[in-house]
Each structure stands twice: as structure tokens, then as C-alpha cells.
């Protein structure tokens, strides 16, 4: 049934992403709020900590829209179960305490994005300093691309207003202006190119096909080692991503690379099936057929207690047991690498982290992380349509993914040089993807050549604990919520809709 359920879940997501009837009169809101709570009691990974209906009172939540009211309810549910290892909720978000780090309600945007269709401006922003906001990437074919925006361009004003941060929090006036602009249908940008010239662009949200491979190339180090570089921006579904991944890895094989750097610094996740496919390119042939990862649902689902889900999906007994949610490697290609370097930031999440975690115990020399602490999301979910007209999709953290070593201990993020080997390095937005002089990539190349991350002429250390760096990390993660999907959708067996 697993395939049937996953197929039906995908159909549900595809349907709800196309058919989104707004609940304009609010008459159905009470039923929607009740549904969120009842589904949480049934499918939420930490449902054992949820109180009774009377104690929780789901109908008390309000907002300036039905979706906002439902999200307020999800936020409250997410803060109840405490992670004993941290003393904070499992869904604690240090950048926005009191809100859900993983679970959310949307109106089909996630399904559309993971399907490979962009419906946005086609660019993303990042702060490199409180007064320095940069274009960090631009999708080909998007409005931003057509307007001539390029990576590294500095944004000096948005809608003729200042973008300089003061606190980096939700209430920061600059963040509020940036957030509001990203939520609109068009935005005016004042920009300065890396060569010092200035220009103005008005960018609109349009529909375009996403190419998830930002760049791939092979470079030769000073000692003659061939290093593949692969920048992957989003785990879109296989039908969109497979050919582009194959093209890159066919080149790497033909070039005879012996080392590989995978740039996931802005990849917020996506389809789990695509994460699995990429892992199968990277796994050594000797581990073919071995365990990649397991997914663990709550006790109720594993015990076949799911009356609400059964009303919408065809589910067979045992579909939520660990035995039916075990995923093995199936080697693709002929590359046999000893290790892989990953470039990461706080925007690296979910299916990206799943890939890293799954490879760590199976590569002879494991993985190396270069960059900044990742988002921290070892859990996943599938979409649950809400309402008679399927107005919304509900994404609750529903399972935890553990690698072949049985670990998923990165709720607070993957820390380069901390809980994962590597080094902390600042992102260098002024350089293009794959530039050997870019701060992150150059560190990986230096380690490959010399066995050290220290590069002459570049800062050898970076700490996220300084006040400004903490502020920038917080602001950039808040901006990411507005800019991109953050999750992992399983297209595999339960056709994991989202991770």
C-alpha cells in the first residue's frame, strides 16, 4: 500500500495546489481549527504530549486570515512537547521563539515549488552585515533574471526604503520592510553591482521552471587533484531534477574526479526521493543494498490507529511501521569517493541535512562540512488537505529520519567542526558559485590539497556567537521563511511528501 498511499498523497497535494478556494466568510474556521487539533492528536510525532481538547481549546486561536489563525494554533501545539536533551520544545526556533520550527499551514505553495515550478521573484536575499543586503542567487527564466539581477549585487533600498538592520528580529523595522516586500506581487530594488555601477529594477512574481542545479564544474588543484563542484539549490521532484543531476555526474565521471564538493548553502530541502537519488550517486559500491535510513512515526500510527487519515487515504495495516519505512542504498553510477565536502549555512535544511546525515556513516572518511550551522530538521511530513474545498495543506512534523547508525541528533543544526567534522566559514556572496577563490569553496580545496582549512590571506576562524553574527543568522533565517520552501517531501514509498 505504501506506494498507493504515497501516490494518493501526491495526488492530494497536486489537487490542493491547483484548487484553493478561500474561506471568505469564516463560517468554516471553527471546523478547520478542530481538524488541525484532531490531526495533531493522530499524526504529530510528539502527540503523546498534547492535552485534551477542552484543555487546549483549538477555537481560541485567531489571526488576520484563516490561514494565520490555523498557523497560530499549529505554533501553540508545537511548543508543548519538551526535548529533554535541550530543555526546550522539539520545535523550538531560536530565531522566533514560540513559533513552530517545522510544522505549518499553506495554500499549496510547497507542493508547487517542489514540483519544479517557481511562482516567485526568482531571487533570494541575504545579509552579510547589518547594512549590507545582497542578492545571493537568481533563477534563470525568472523575472529577476530578466531584469538583470546577479549574485553579489548589493540591495541599497527596497521600495525606496532603508534595509539596514538594528536587531534582526521579527520586529526589526528593516526586516518588516523586507518581509512585506517579499510578500507582495512586485518589488522595486535599488542595487549596486560588484563593479560599483548602480541600477534600479522592478521585479514581479511570475511562473517559471526551476533548474535546481545552479552550477557544476570540475577544477584542478595545485597538486593536480580533480575536484567536482555541484551547487544544488532545491530538491525538486525527480521528474524535474533527475536529468540535470545525471548531466552533472556524467561529467564528473568523465573528468575522473577524486573529490567532490556539494554546495547546499541555500538548499532548504524538498523531495526526499531526490535526496535519496543523489545519495545513491555518492555511496560507495561496497555499501550498495545497505541501509540508508529509517523513518519513525508515533506509536499510534505504528499501531494502525489512524481513523482520520483513513477517511482521506487508502492505508494498509503496517504502513507506518519502521519495517515499511526502511530505505536502502541502490548505487547509481561508478563514482567511489572516500568523502564528500558539503557547503552549508543556516538555510541548509531538511532533505539537504538528510543527505548529509545518510552519507556520514557510509563513506570511508565520512563527510566534511564547511560554512555555518545548518537549520536542524531531522523530521519530515506529508501534506494533509484541510476543509471541504481543500483550502489549505497541513504539514505537521510526523516522523523522524535516522541514518544507518541510528542517529538524528541535529535538532539544533549541523555544526561544522562541532557535531560534524569541518570548519566554520562565512558565506562569500561577492563571489560566484564555483569560484575557487570564494571563501567556502577555497577552504574545501585547501583541505583537499594540504589537509588544513587555513588559507593564507583569509580569516581562519569564524564564530556565530558574536552579537552581529547572531543577528545576521536570525535575520537571514527569518527571510528564508518568506523566500523558499523549508522541508522535505517524500516521493518515495509513503511518497514522502515533505521532509
In terms of DSSP H, where are the helices of 21-65?
Answer: 29-43, 53-56
Least confident of 63-67, 143-147, 480-484: 480-484
Summarised one tens digit per residue, pLDDT across range 13-43 is 333 333 333 444 445 899 999 999 999 999 9
Buried b (16+ CB within 10 A) or exposed e, 155-193: bbbbbeeebebeebeeebebbebbbebbeeeebebbbee
Quote the CA–CA distance of 118 and 371 in Å, as a whole number. Answer: 27
Q: Domains in the chain, please, with CATH?
A: 119-209 (2.30.42.10)
Where is pLDDT greater, at 86 or 117?
86
CA distances from 370 to 121, 198, 217 (A): 29, 32, 18
Quote the CA–CA distance of 147 and 104 in Å, as a whole number. Answer: 32
CA distances from 436 to 48, 229, 424 (A): 50, 10, 17
Summarised one tens digit per residue, pLDDT across range 385-440 is 997 767 899 999 999 999 999 999 899 999 999 999 999 998 899 899 999 999 99
3-state helix, strand, coil in the chain (%, to 5): 30, 25, 45
Quote the CA–CA distance of 280 and 264 in Å, as a whole number. Answer: 17
Summarised one tens digit per residue, pLDDT across range 292-305 is 999 999 999 999 99
Q: Name the average pLDDT for the chain.
A: 87
Sign of CA dihedral 177, 183, 189, 193: positive
Name the band, by pLDDT with cuts 50, 70 and 90, for residue 2: very low
pTM: 0.85
Name the band, by pLDDT with cuts 50, 70 and 90, for residue 362: very high
Q: Quick check: 12 pLDDT over 70?
A: no
C-alpha atoms less than 13 angstroms from C-alpha of 474 in its C-beta half-sphere: 22
Pair type for strands 198-204 and 186-192: antiparallel
Quote the CA–CA distance of 416 and 405 in Å, as a whole number. Answer: 19
Summarised one tens digit per residue, pLDDT across range 65-112 is 999 999 999 999 999 999 998 899 999 998 789 999 999 998 876 666
Angle at 35 between CA 32 and CA 40, to 5 degrees: 135
Summarised one tens digit per residue, pLDDT across range 251-282 is 999 999 999 999 999 999 988 999 999 999 99
Amino acid at each position: 500500500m505504501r506506494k498507493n498511499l504515497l501516490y494518493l498523497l501526491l495526488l492530494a497535494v497536486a489537487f490542493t495546489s491547483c484548487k484553493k478556494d478561500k474561506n471568505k466568510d469564516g463560517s468554516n474556521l471553527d471546523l478547520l481549527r478542530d481538524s488541525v487539533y484532531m490531526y495533531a492528536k493522530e499524526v504529530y510525532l510528539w502527540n503523546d504530549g498534547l492535552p485534551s481538547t477542552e484543555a487546549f481549546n483549538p477555537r481560541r486561536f485567531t489571526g488576520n486570515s484563516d490561514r494565520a489563525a490555523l498557523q497560530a494554533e499549529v505554533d501553540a501545539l508545537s511548543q508543548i512537547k519538551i526535548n529533554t536533551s535541550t530543555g526546550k520544545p522539539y520545535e523550538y526556533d531560536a530565531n522566533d521563539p514560540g513559533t513552530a520550527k517545522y510544522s505549518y499551514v499553506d495554500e499549496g505553495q510547497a507542493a508547487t515549488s517542489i514540483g519544479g515550478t517557481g511562482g516567485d521573484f526568482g531571487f533570494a536575499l541575504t545579509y552579510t552585515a547589518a547594512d549590507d543586503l545582497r542578492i545571493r542567487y537568481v533563477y534563470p527564466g525568472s523575472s529577476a533574471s530578466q531584469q538583470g539581477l546577479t549574485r553579489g549585487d548589493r540591495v541599497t533600498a527596497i521600495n525606496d526604503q532603508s534595509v539596514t538592520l538594528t536587531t534582526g528580529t521579527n520586529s526589526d523595522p528593516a526586516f518588516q520592510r523586507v518581509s512585506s516586500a517579499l510578500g507582495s506581487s512586485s518589488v522595486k530594488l535599488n542595487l549596486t553591482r560588484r563593479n560599483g555601477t548602480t541600477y534600479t529594477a522592478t521585479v514581479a512574481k511570475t511562473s517559471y521552471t526551476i533548474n535546481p542545479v545552479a552550477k557544476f564544474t570540475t577544477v584542478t588543484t595545485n597538486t593536480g587533484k580533480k575536484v567536482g563542484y555541484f551547487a544544488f539549490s532545491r530538491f525538486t521532484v525527480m521528474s524535474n531534477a533527475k536529468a540535470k543531476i545525471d548531466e552533472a555526474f556524467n561529467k564528473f565521471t568523465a573528468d575522473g574526479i577524486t573529490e567532490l564538493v556539494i554546495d547546499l548553502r541555500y538548499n532548504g530541502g524538498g523531495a526526499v526521493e531526490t535526496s535519496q537519488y543523489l545519495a545513491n550517486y555518492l555511496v560507495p559500491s561496497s555499501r550498495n543494498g545497505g541501509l540508508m535510513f529509517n523513518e519513525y512515526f508515533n506509536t499510534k500510527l505504528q499501531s494502525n490507529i489512524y481513523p482520520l487519515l483513513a477517511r482521506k487515504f487508502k492505508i494498509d495495516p503496517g504502513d507506518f511501521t519502521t519495517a515499511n519505512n526502511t530505505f536502502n542504498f541502490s548505487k547509481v553510477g561508478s563514482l567511489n569517493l572516500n568523502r564528500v565536502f558539503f557547503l552549508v549555512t543556516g538555510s541548509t535544511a531538511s532533505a539537504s541535512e538528510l543527505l548529509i546525515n545518510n552519507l556520514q556513516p557510509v563513506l570511508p572518511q565520512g563527510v566534511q562540512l564547511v560554512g555555518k550551522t545548518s537549520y536542524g530538521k531531522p523530521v519530515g511530513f506529508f501534506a494533509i488537505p484541510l476543509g471541504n474545498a481543500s483550502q489549505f495543506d497541513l504539514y505537521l512534523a510526523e516522523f523522524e529520519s535516522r541514518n544507518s547508525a541510528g542517529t538524528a541528533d541535529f535538532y539544533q543544526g549541523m555544526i561544522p567542526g562541532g557535531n560534524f567534522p569541518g570548519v566554520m566559514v562565512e558565506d562569500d556572496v561577492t563571489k560566484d558559485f564555483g569560484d575557487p577563490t570564494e571563501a567556502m569553496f577555497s577552504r574545501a580545496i585547501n583541505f583537499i590539497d594540504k589537509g588544513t582549512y587555513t588559507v593564507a590571506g583569509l580569516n581562519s576562524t569564524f564564530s556565530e556567537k558574536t552579537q552581529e553574527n547572531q543577528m545576521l543568522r536570525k535575520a537571514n533565517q527569518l527571510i528564508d521563511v518568506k523566500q523558499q520552501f523549508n522541508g522535505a517531501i517524500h516521493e518515495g514509498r509513503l511518497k514522502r511528501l515533505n521532509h
